[in-house]
């Protein structure tokens, strides 16, 4: 076969474009990260806002119930809708490794809010009504498992990003963040953001008036942290497809 220079260029172009197209885009992953991060920020701010507004509304109980139910529903409905939409477009890639990453991560991120709803229901129906002590081992186990699952979920996405970007030290940062989160949970430093008035608190049992340091850290990680990881994955994918792989 006599391959001319033009044919060689044409064939090189075919090879290059096919290889570019066959790469995993990770679009679904960074879209999930961004959705999850924005959802966490909006819902956390909404829950704080409802805490402030509840004292200024004549229908306090109804408002509190409505806002709590709405926030809980949205906390799993938004990631679930995003997952369904993203999966529709990503399924065609058929890369089992990539799809299993999205599946595992999305299932945990959808189950986590459901888990929190169960904890809230137990708190509302049993703890607040005095049917179960706050120190009940089963209840504490559920609360701790929820916190730990959130931390592991974030560690998971950091490890995935570390592998995509081929920067192993990012895994160490992920582990460090997890340890900091656990440390804050242990020391339980907190500041007051609502009221300590006993009578008001009696009217609204289970009403959060303290913000713990671990709570702020969890908010930063699960909100801003996911957005940062999402943006980093997006940048990495764009750099790779532009041939700037380091």
Nearer to another protein, 28 or 174 (CB): 28
Task: Assess 2 for contact with another protein (CB under 8 A).
Answer: yes
Nearest approach in angstroms of CB 176 to another protein is 31
Task: Assess 186 for contact with another protein (CB under 8 A).
Answer: no
Task: Assess 246 for contact with another protein (CB under 8 A).
Answer: no
Task: Assess 244 for contact with another protein (CB under 8 A).
Answer: no
Task: Assess 199 for contact with another protein (CB under 8 A).
Answer: no
Tell me the CB-side half-sphere exposure of residue 10, using CA atoms within 13 A. 5
Alpha carbons 210 and 55: distance in angstroms, whole number: 16
Residue of 187, 177, 136, 134 whose CA lies nearest to 153: 177
Alpha carbons 115 and 123: distance in angstroms, whole number: 12
Nearer to another protein, 3 or 135 (CB): 3
Q: Helix 226-241 crosses helix 27-54 at what angle (to 10 degrees)? A: 160
What is residue 184's DSSP assignment? H
Alpha carbons 146 and 236: distance in angstroms, whole number: 31
SS3 assignment, position 132: coil
Applying the rule CB under 8 A, the residues between 9 and 28 that interact with another protein are: 9, 11-12, 14-15, 18-19, 21-24
Applying the rule CB under 8 A, the residues between 71 and 130 that interact with another protein are: 92-95, 97
Tell me which residues touch another protein (CB under 8 A): 1-5, 8-9, 11-12, 14-15, 18-19, 21-24, 92-95, 97
């Amino acid at each position: 076969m006599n391959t001319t220079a033009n044919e060689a260029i044409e064939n090189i172009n075919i090879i290059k474009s096919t290889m570019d197209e066959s790469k995993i885009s990770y679009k679904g992953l960074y879209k999930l990260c961004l959705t999850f991060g924005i959802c966490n920020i909006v819902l956390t701010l909404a829950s704080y806002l409802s805490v402030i507004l509840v004292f200024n509304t004549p229908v306090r109980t109804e408002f509190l119930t409505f806002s709590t139910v709405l926030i809980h529903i949205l906390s799993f409905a938004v990631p679930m809708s995003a997952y369904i939409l993203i999966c529709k477009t990503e399924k065609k890639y058929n890369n089992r490794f990539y799809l299993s990453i999205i599946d595992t991560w999305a299932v945990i991120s959808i189950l986590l809010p459901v888990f929190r709803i169960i904890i809230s229901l137990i708190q509302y129906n049993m703890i607040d009504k005095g049917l179960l002590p706050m120190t009940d081992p089963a209840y504490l186990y559920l609360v701790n498992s929820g916190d730990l699952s959130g931390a592991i979920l974030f560690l998971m996405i950091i490890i995935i990003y570390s592998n995509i970007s081929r920067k192993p030290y990012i895994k160490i940062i992920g582990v460090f963040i997890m340890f900091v989160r656990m440390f804050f949970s242990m020391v339980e430093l907190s500041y007051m953001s609502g009221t300590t008035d006993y009578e008001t608190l009696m009217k609204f049992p289970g009403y959060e008036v303290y913000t713990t340091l671990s709570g702020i850290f969890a908010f930063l990680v699960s909100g801003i942290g996911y957005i940062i990881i999402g943006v980093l994955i997006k940048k990495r994918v764009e750099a790779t497809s532009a041939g700037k792989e380091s």
